[in-house]
Structure 1
Amino acid sequence: MRAPLLLRSTLLLVLVATNTLANERNQPAVRPLLLSEHLDEETHRVSVKGAVVTTLRFEKPVDPDKTKMLGWEGRLEPLAVVRNKVILEPLHDLNADEALPLLVTLVDGTEVSFLLRPPRRQEWAGADQQVDVFKDRESYAAMHSALQRALEENGTLSEENARYRKEETSEDHALAALLASGALAQTPFKAVDRFSGRDEKATVRARVFQGKGKAAVVLNIKNLAPEQPWSMTSTRLVTKDRGEERVVAIRAIFREIAPGASGVMALVVDKSAFLEDGQWTSLFLEVYQQEGFRQVLVQLDPYLVAR
């Protein structure tokens, strides 16, 4: 874990490597793999991450004597087979160009080849935590798993479409877009504080603004990693004492930040977010990056909106 860098001001900016809260929010990722859909492929990719257990679950028991993995020494814990499951636990993240072959043999002689790789960039922090492998796509379990995944994907798309429609008419999102583009003069905000922080992966410069019943933060993030792009997986705004979720409007002018490059992100918070049971409260604004770490923590105090 990287050592936290703490800067104190009227606000608080922390660059800290912690994935505790992110992991609490994420449910285990289960992915079905229907072998009959991939007859032309010799191997099947499995995304793995350091210190994250990945389980391959099959319909029939696995033959441990004929299940082998190459080049795992120093990269993964020894391979474990428990009945119909193969358990993988990388000791650390694999390099972007690393690929470890795995051959799983079932007791009926069926052989399935896998390639263990780090998550693709577009997958952000998503390792495969459980892969349910089905040989017969017509089986009840396979059809049920595929249906559940389709329903989940459809629900996610519906939620995203509803969110996009709401953001199109949101005043706070419009203000965040102006701030992110540098058009401060077209907004009601004025700067009241600024400070910066740095760790081995990024530098962050923060500017804090007051507006008419609103507060805003503009983050300028520079990616210090020599090879890996920087991207944001999520943001979270919670009350300081109870940890209750609050709404925050976000606009970023980047999808991912290339090594050595910088990107700007703006966040706008309405006055109502600072009220808890009719009393003023401080807020914590958290930004999580692609590896699941909390990169930025900003404390927003009620003086920004309480007039």
Structure 2
Amino acid sequence: MWNILLRRSTLLLVLVASVAGAKEREPNERNIYLSDHTSREAPDVYVVGGIVTVLRLEQPCDSARTKMLAWEGRFEPVECVGKRVLIEPLRDLEPEDRLMLLVTLADGTELPFTVTSRQKTTDDRTGDQQVNVFRDHEAPKAVLASLYDSLRMEDQLREEVERYRKEDSVNHALARLLAKGAAKQTPFRERYAALFKSPTGVEFRVSVLASRNRDKAAVVFKVKNNSPTEPWSLMEARLITDDGREERPFALRASQEYWGPGGQSGQIAVVLDASAFDSKTGPDRLVLELFRQGDGLRQAWVHLDQQLLR
């Protein structure tokens, strides 16, 4: 752990690479609805190295006639177990890797699939854990699965609309300007700053700012990825009370989604109102945390005190 304690008592900056409490993830289950059209493309199945992906079929498969092309040295042998096909790559694939998998059902029907990866970065290890394959779109299970897919999509769209509505605020506009490096166009002035270089090669220059009329605070992380091979991206930011019991609202904007290796740089900006410090028992001390995409490591946290607005 690395601690940088600035001379001013209003800010304690701690930048670390420690394991954060990761949220429990639901199984990554997906449905595929096949078409009988002769020109249909083989649907993609997304895999991750060392993790088994299961194709769940409507009828048993023929083990002798189910095979993958050019799998040797890259996959465990493909297995048919009743109505399930098990696929396990020995290592991660690249998105440009596309291997043909031919699944033959007990009645002789051949179902082609393309086994590939959806990874954008080496930290982004997301794939299919189970793929439910439906040929008969009118079968009860297929209809029910389609209904659940529609409801899930509706919920996602509703959440996205609500998020956009909440993010249409003055603080988000200010955070966007700070993330673009346009601090002179905002009412903020820098109060304190610190520099940290992590063991993974990611460099953070952290600036804490206060508005002229002291009604808002901001934190800007200037991120430079000096790693020669590994990209970096932000998974989540949290603003919580020092005791960890309560989250407080804030606005966040980033100049980009990913920081490529070899020195790519950009900024993450957070803006909060002075009221975020308020509580019934007096001003709260707050902690702003950043978590890295992929492994959930906490990359940085900043302790903020209301005194920086004085």
Q: Which interval holds the TM-score relative to the shorter structure?
A: 0.7 to 0.9
Q: Which residue of 1 aligns with 2:139?
A: 139
User: Greater shift after overlay, 108-117 or 183-192?
Assistant: 183-192
User: Is 1:46 the counterpart of 2:83 in the alignment?
Assistant: no
User: Is 1:83 the counterpart of 2:79 in the alignment?
Assistant: no
Q: Which residue of 1 aligns with 2:8?
A: none
Q: Distance in 2 between matches of 1:210 and 1:117?
A: 48
Give the match's secondary structure for 1:136: coil
Conserved? CA contact 2:206–2:219, under 8 Å: yes
User: Is 1:247 the counterpart of 2:242 in the alignment?
Assistant: no
Conserved? CA contact 1:210–1:304, under 8 Å: no
Give the match's secondary structure for 1:159: helix
Corresponding residue to 1:302 among 289, 305, 309:
305
- Alignment root-mean-square deviation, CA: 3.3
Q: Which residue of 1 aligns with 2:9?
A: none
Matches within 5 A, 1:213-292: 213-224=215-226, 230-239=232-241, 241-242=243-244, 244-260=246-262, 261-273=264-276, 278=281, 280-289=284-293, 291=294
Q: Distance in 2 between matches of 1:234 and 1:250?
A: 10
Give the match's secondary structure for 2:152: helix
In the TM superposition, what whole-angstrom CA distance separates every residue of 1:76-110 from its partner, at most 9, and x where no partner exists?
44434432222333343223432333222222222
Go from structure 1 to structure 2 and tell me whether the alpha carbon gap of 1:94 and 1:282 turns closer, same or farther (over 3 Å shift).
Answer: same
Q: Which residue of 2 aligns with 1:130?
A: 130
TM-score where L is the length of structure 1: 0.79
Gaps of 5+ in 1: 1-5
Matches within 5 A, 1:162-241: 162-168=162-168, 170-185=169-184, 186-200=186-200, 202-211=202-211, 212-224=214-226, 230-239=232-241, 241=243
Cα deviation for residue 160 of structure 1 reads: 1.4
Q: Distance in 2 between matches of 1:210 and 1:178?
A: 15
Q: Which amino acid aligns with 2:205?
A: R
Q: Which residue of 1 aligns with 2:156?
A: 156
Give the match's secondary structure for 2:167: helix
Q: Which residue of 2 aligns with 1:3?
A: none
Cα deviation for residue 243 of structure 1 reads: 6.0
Conserved? CA contact 1:105–1:112, under 8 Å: yes
Aligned residue pair count: 296
Q: Distance in 2 between matches of 1:239 and 1:38?
A: 57
Conserved? CA contact 2:102–2:110, under 8 Å: yes
Q: Distance in 1 between matches of 2:21 and 2:64?
A: 37
Conserved? CA contact 1:214–1:304, under 8 Å: no
Corresponding residue to 1:8 among 3, 12, 18:
3
User: Is 1:33 the counterpart of 2:32 in the alignment?
Assistant: yes
Q: Which amino acid aligns with 1:167?
A: E
Q: Distance in 1 between matches of 2:89 and 2:254?
A: 33
Q: Which amino acid aligns with 1:8?
A: N
Conserved? CA contact 2:217–2:273, under 8 Å: yes
Q: Distance in 2 between matches of 1:51 and 1:277?
A: 50
Q: Which residue of 1 aligns with 2:63?
A: 64
Conserved? CA contact 1:46–1:115, under 8 Å: yes
Conserved? CA contact 1:237–1:286, under 8 Å: no
Gaps of 5+ in 2: 5-11
Q: Distance in 1 between matches of 2:279 and 2:65?
A: 60
Q: Distance in 2 between matches of 1:98 and 1:190?
A: 47
User: Greater shift after overlay, 196-205 or 41-50?
Assistant: 196-205
TM-score where L is the length of structure 2: 0.78
Go from structure 1 to structure 2 and tell me whether the alpha carbon gap of 1:205 and 1:272 turns closer, same or farther (over 3 Å shift).
Answer: same
Go from structure 1 to structure 2 and tell me whether the alpha carbon gap of 1:146 and 1:227 turns closer, same or farther (over 3 Å shift).
Answer: farther
Cα deviation for residue 35 of structure 1 reads: 0.7
Q: Percent of aligned positions with the same letter in both sequences?
A: 38
Go from structure 1 to structure 2 and tell me whether the alpha carbon gap of 1:107 and 1:161 turns closer, same or farther (over 3 Å shift).
Answer: same
In the TM superposition, what whole-angstrom CA distance separates every residue of 1:213-242 from its partner, at most 9, and x where no partner exists?
544221223345668865444434445544
Give the match's secondary structure for 1:60: coil
Q: Distance in 2 between matches of 1:59 and 1:106?
A: 9
